[in-house]
Structure 1
Amino acid sequence: MKPTLASFPRSRPRRLRRTPALRKLTAECKLSVDDLIWPVFVQDSDIAETPVPSLPDVNRLSIKQLIRTAEEARALGIPAICLFPYIDPALKTAGCENAWDPDNLVNRAIRALKSAVPDIAVMTDVALDPYNTYGHDGIVKGDEIVNDETISALAKMAVAQADAGADILGPSDMMDGRIGAMRDALESAGHHNTLILSYAAKYASAFYGPFRDAVGASGALVGDKKTYQMDPANSDEALRLVERDLIEGADMVMVKPGQPYLDICRRVKDTFGVPTYAYQVSGEYAMIRAAGEKGWIDEDKVMIESLIAFKRAGCDGILTYFAPRMAKYLHNIDQ
């Protein structure tokens, strides 16, 4: 028989909140440095850092500076970084051929990282938008972002990144069937142990604006991405997409954006029980930073609260631009 709750005054839940020590003992979830993936932007330049104006304290990095950043991540205990490229506009084409060039910016960066900092896990983005004349995640023919031709390109891109040494591939394109195509291509190429962290539930969101500035896709984008990214009104569909990607060979799944979709994170974790991640995207980060700079919020406290919310929603990890700052905070409180 299920016990009934005691009534006041026998039950005083505030007893559990009386001191910091008691609150620590009764916390239902805890945030760790191990939960953090640090998204970083890389540029093909001798300039060490180029600021992204819409993302305070976030820079596009040269490969040399990227290695220093990976060394910082290692020193902080952050287990993984995720690479996003700023591609020279002259290399962008309608066919996106640079996406699977073995010597493209991302693949050179992967090789440099795995040589210099081999114990950091390197995650990549698998989507065509940085390489695409039209700014879309898929190949554009007329007025359509074509699905099947795109997944063939993505499979080649995935193999090229695995060849370079990527540990985790992050397909963020939302084309139908792309996980199966990538997994088959990886197996055929002998990459049996390359992980796929699928952006299984990626929504057509207005929170991506600063990211598009960072990768140089804002001015290129023709139209919108609503024919392949999810409708923000839909929840059940997210579960169908997660199930499909797991069947096709994804090892882990992601919900993107993060905080506006915590209900999706919880449903995914409760339904499938698989490693579940969320991306605290550029717009989420930028809003916290902007309000903090205005003095409207306590920025550190909001950062911490926002990241704990992901753990409470069932996430096993979070991609966040706050990763180094949060890691430093966690190290300070552990001392």
Structure 2
Amino acid sequence: MTRIAFYAPMKPPEDPTPSGDREMARNLIAAIGAKGARVDVVSTLKLHEKAGDPARQRTLHQQAKSEVARLTQDLGRDRPALWVTYHNYYKAPDLIGPAVCAALKLPYVQLESTRARKRLTGPWADFARAAEAACDAAQVIFYLTANDLITLERHRAPGQRLIPLPPFLPTDTLPPASACEGPMLTAGMMRAGDKLASYTILAETLGYLRSDWQLDIAGDGPARAEVTALMARFGDRVRFLGQLDRKALTKAYAHAGLFVWPGVNEAFGMVYLEAQAAGLPVVAQDRPGVRDVLLPGDYPTPEAGPEALARTLGHLLDDPALRRARGAEARAMIARTHLQPAATDCFWSAVAPLLDAPA
């Protein structure tokens, strides 16, 4: 059995706190292992340093050196065929994989990495240099969005291959399809920052709607009070569903009429994939990353503001046939390119030459 070493420096796949990053890591492990490979999470050392604290970065470097020593010894006894690192970037660089792979002569691959050379000065300079060095060490980097490709291509190391890996759902089947006749649905964690910014835009958008409408909100979090206040003026037209488990969220998609989420600074947004898999048309702003997972169409720019988003919503609310047609097209797109089998085939096609190459 082929053994794959897997490492996620930002957040281990078994971290107790839900997030898109954790979910994507788990999905990748499932996709890589779908053809029988054994995928082992070889380290749970969390290297995410979000404050720009050089002292903390030095501490993490020391912890990483200890992990390199441990793994070089452990993996030397049970050598994997390949090392895969998920989400190397300047706040969470892979300080482990390149050193272990150099010592054991292992192929080294990255998934969803980004380059940010503007961070080579400032509070993350040390970590940014480490992230760049880790990118340089990778023989293959899989990128998930066209936006990530820009700097990966600009600073690509000699001989390095950059492979598109479209974001995907961890399944080979589609969920039940919506009839697109229910309320609007949105889904997002309620926390300060980008998520609250999306909720703010959404509330402003609802104020421009002239059609008859209802909105269900799936999600919860520390900014629940702020989101509740934003939606208070709409009374019972907005219903809070709370944080839903997978089964309940699937049911919510199946009963919705359309999905809306502005998408402020989303890397891409798993909720867009989930909604489209259920046959829902999606209303979002035309943002980098987000546009990579949406059915091609005319999405309003952020600069056009909430009023433009409301116009797009209004067209769909007033036209059930258009909702069903767009939803069916989106569902077909997900089936073609955004389910696990497509990701599995993409991964193994790209790494197979590395496994056959001499050490």
Please, what TM-score do these two structures have when normalized by structure 2? 0.33
Q: Which is greater in Rg?
A: 2
Structure with more contact order per residue of length (Cα contacts < 8 Å, sep ≥ 6): 1
**Which structure has the highest strand share of the two?**
1
